[in-house]
A and B are shown apart, each in its own frame.
Chain A
Amino acid sequence: MIAEVVISVMILVFAVIILRTSFLEFYLPQPGFIGFISSPNFYPIFFSIILIILCTILLIKSITPIVKKKRIEWKISIDVFSMKRIAIILISTALYIYCFDKVSFFISTLLYLSILILYLNPQLKYKALLYIVLGSFIVAIIFPEVFKIMVPVR
Chain B
Amino acid sequence: MDWSILFNEWYMFPQVLTSLASPSTFLGIVLGCIIGFVFGVVPGLTALMAMTLILSLALLLPPDICFGAMLGIYTAAIASGGFTSVMINIPGTPAAAATVLDGHPMARKGMAREAIGAVIVSSIFGELLSISIFLITLPFFIYVVLSFGDWEVFLFCCMGLVAAGALAGKDPLKGWITALMGIILGLIGTDPVFGFPRYTFGVSELAKGIDLVAALTGLFGLSEVLMVLKERKPYQLIGKVSFPKLDFRIPIKYPKTFLTSVLVGLWIGFIPAVGEGVSPWLAYDFSRRLSKNKDKFGTGWVEGVIAPETANNATLGGALIPTLLLGVPGSATTAIILAAMYLYNIPVGPLLPRLRPGTITTIIVLTLISCAIGLLILYLLAPLTMHILSLPREVILPLLIPFFVLAVWGSAYTVFDIWTMFLFGILGFALRLADFPIPPLVLGFVLSRPLEMTLRRSIVQYSTNLPALFLRPVGLIIIAILLLMIIGVRRFTKRGQ
Residues of chain A whose beta carbon lies under 8 Å from any beta carbon of chain B: 3-4, 6-8, 10-11, 14-15, 18, 21, 25, 27, 29, 34, 37-38, 40-41, 43-44, 47-48, 50-51, 54-55, 57-58, 61, 79, 81-82, 85-86, 89-90, 93-94, 96-97, 100-101, 105, 109, 112-113, 116-117, 120-121, 124, 128, 131, 135-136, 139-140, 143-144, 147-151
Contact = CB atoms under 8 A, between A and B. Distances in A.
Interface string B316-352: 0000000000000000000000000000000000000
A127 to B, nearest CB: 9
A44 B422 CA distance: 25
A58 B433 contact: no
Interface of B: 57, 60-61, 173-174, 176-177, 180-181, 183-184, 187, 191, 193-194, 196, 198-199, 201, 222, 226, 229-232, 392, 394-395, 398-399, 401-403, 405-406, 409-410, 413, 415, 418-419, 422, 426, 429-431, 433-436, 452, 455-456, 459-460, 463
Contacts of A151: 406, 409
B194 A135 contact: no
B196 A27 contact: yes
A63 to B, nearest CB: 14
Given A18-B184, A54-B180, A147-B60, 6 more contacts: A27-B196, A40-B196, A51-B177, A113-B398, A135-B399, A150-B413
A41 to B, nearest CB: 7
Contacts, number: 149
A61 B171 CA distance: 11
Contact of B410 (A27, A86, A109, A147): A147
Given A18-B184, A54-B176, A149-B60, A97 B419 contact: yes
Contacts of A143: 403, 406
Nearest to B421: A97
Contacts of A38: 193, 456, 459-460
Contact of A96 (B405, B434, B459, B460): B405
Contacts of A34: 459, 463
A8 to B, nearest CB: 8
B184 A51 contact: yes
Given A89-B226, A143-B406, A147-B57, A27 B194 contact: yes
B459 A37 contact: yes
Contact of A139 (B176, B403, B426, B463): B403
Contact of A43 (B201, B419, B452): B452
Residue picked from A51, A112, A148, most chain B C-beta under 10 Å: A51
Contacts of B406: 105, 139, 143-144, 149, 151
Contacts of A57: 173
